[in-house]
Amino acid sequence: MSLGNGENLSWRETFVACTHPKVVTMLFLGFSSGLPLYLIFSSLSAWLTQAGVSKASVTFFSWAALGYSFKFIWAPLVDLLPLPVLTRLLGRRRGWLLFSQVLVAAAIMWMGLTNPVAHSSGLTVMALAAVMLGFSAATQDIVIDAYRIESSVESMQALLASTYIAGYRIGMLVSGAGSLYLAGWLGSSKGIYLYSAWKNTYLIMGLIMLTGVITTLCISEPSQSKSRKYSEYSTGQYLRIVLLFGVATATFALSFFYSGSLSAALKDIVLDYFPVTGLMIGFVVEVLRFLSSVTVAGLICRVMVSFKLVEWGIVRNVYVRPVLDFFNRYEVKAAVLLLMLIGCYRISDVVMGVVANVFYLELGFSTIDIANISKTFGLFMTIAGGILGGVLTVRYGVIKILFLGALLSAATNLLFMTLAKAGADLTLLTVVIMADNLSGGIATTAFVAFLSSLTSVSFTAMQYAIFSSVMLLFPKAIGGYSGTIAEAFGYETFFLITACMGIPVLFLVWLARGYADKKA
């Protein structure tokens, strides 16, 4: 069957569409995308802790995943630059996809071949490999997002998103719980560090990345990508673009990191004097820090342009045109409204989720209970919610399910108030986790489909990367104060506050209806 013409499908057409090759493809690409994440975070932390690395050094490795947050900086290169040989043989998207997947597999194996405590430079080498993994994994995400959007019509984006999210979660399960289990089975456990066990675990994870490589070699290039032409620049001009990217990235990163202490000091001062209103002011400080870093990077790029190191026309095509395109399609008022919705949609879930594990422990649940119910059972409920969200969105349209997802995400936070009153009740915890994760899966799938509908196929990688960065900026900034709010008001009031945070989102969704169709 055809993947639709932009109209909502019947129930029969919807369920048939679930088995379409393009939908199934996203399951495998999602798996490839989710696999690297925990190999930088929890699994690597467990490895380094077993190896006797200090807690301070272990936490520094979380910086290796910053590429996920700032991937919009180099996303334009994916749209603009052809890769030697690969682009000609595989096409624009598949060439970049294979390139990034090979880099991901190589970085994972590089980490596996590095013993962090064998010599003085072991941690440094491991850090370099982790940074390479974070950068290449974020690049893979950029390409997969662009491929998903370009591979099918808008009416099918929810189904593609649902199977992608399911695959992503399975990949996280394999690299998280799977790698810990594998390392333990190979002989490394608490109190017994065995480098060969972790080495073989990471080498196996690197081989598992062949799932993505094989998928890339089997799929076809999106027709929309085939019809687009790369800009006609010389080799020297392309190299200057890469130089600009490198300088801009380094400038942004250095400015952002070194302004951290000043930002923290300002927020502490504000919170000392204004413990409640300081929450919003703290967010403003973080936004100003981010914008200041972007401004510094922009000024450096401007200097490079003024010295003719890079042509302004190229810079405009790379960074300015994608932003102007969005504001031109929607006009300033509607564009600002949409960006507000993107920045606020996940706020209820993210702010609540920051303190979830602490809440479970303080309520009296054991770590085993949390692992079994919140993590394992919750994972499958999220996958089920994602698939259900995809089916409902295809059947009823993205705006209706976007509204439903926002409503359920806020409402389920009220269930945590009941849990806070009841105490360590395993049955109630299971019910709450089921409702919360199902609603989260529905909301996430509808939201991804909504973001896809806002993205112009002329600047797919850049615009979606910006949207995916914006969607977590505000929630994570506010989420940093979740513990402060919970301590100040208690858990019951805290969950009520997080539920109320979802009310403005419903209003924004209602205002944004009708804007999800200017694809251009």
User: Domain residue spans in the chain?
Assistant: 11-226, 231-310, 323-512
Q: What is the pLDDT of residue 445?
A: 92
The CATH number given to 11-226 is 1.20.1250.20
Long-range residue pairs from 6-11, CB within 8 A, at least 24 positions apart, any chain = 6/153, 6/154, 6/155, 7/155, 8/155, 8/394, 8/395, 8/396, 8/397, 9/155, 9/394, 9/395, 10/395, 11/395
Q: What is the pLDDT of residue 274?
A: 62
Contact at 8 Å (CB) between 18 and 393?
A: no
Q: What is the pLDDT of residue 4?
A: 42
pTM summary value? 0.82
Give the separation between CA 192 and CA 261, rounded to whole angstroms.
Answer: 37
Q: In this structure, what token pair is assigned to residue 245?
A: 């990217």
Q: In this structure, what token pair is assigned to residue 56?
A: 């301070």
Q: What is the pLDDT of residue 121?
A: 86
Give the separation between CA 215 and CA 29, rounded to whole angstroms.
Answer: 7
Q: What is the pLDDT of residue 133?
A: 95
Q: What is the pLDDT of residue 201?
A: 96
Q: What is the pLDDT of residue 5?
A: 41
Q: What is the pLDDT of residue 143?
A: 95
Residues with pLDDT less than 50, the chain: 1-6, 519-520
| pLDDT tens track for 473-509 | 778 767 766 777 888 888 999 999 999 999 999 999 9
Give the separation between CA 405 and CA 399, rounded to whole angstroms.
Answer: 10
Decide: helix, strand or coil at residue 192.
strand
Give the separation between CA 35 and CA 54, rounded to whole angstroms.
Answer: 26
Q: Phi and psi dihedrals of 189, rounded to 5? A: -150, 180
Q: What is the pLDDT of residue 520?
A: 44
Question: HEC string of 489-504?
Answer: HCHHHHHHHHHHCHHH
Q: What is the pLDDT of residue 280?
A: 60
Give the separation between CA 459 and CA 464, rounded to whole angstroms.
Answer: 8
The CATH number given to 323-512 is 1.20.1250.20
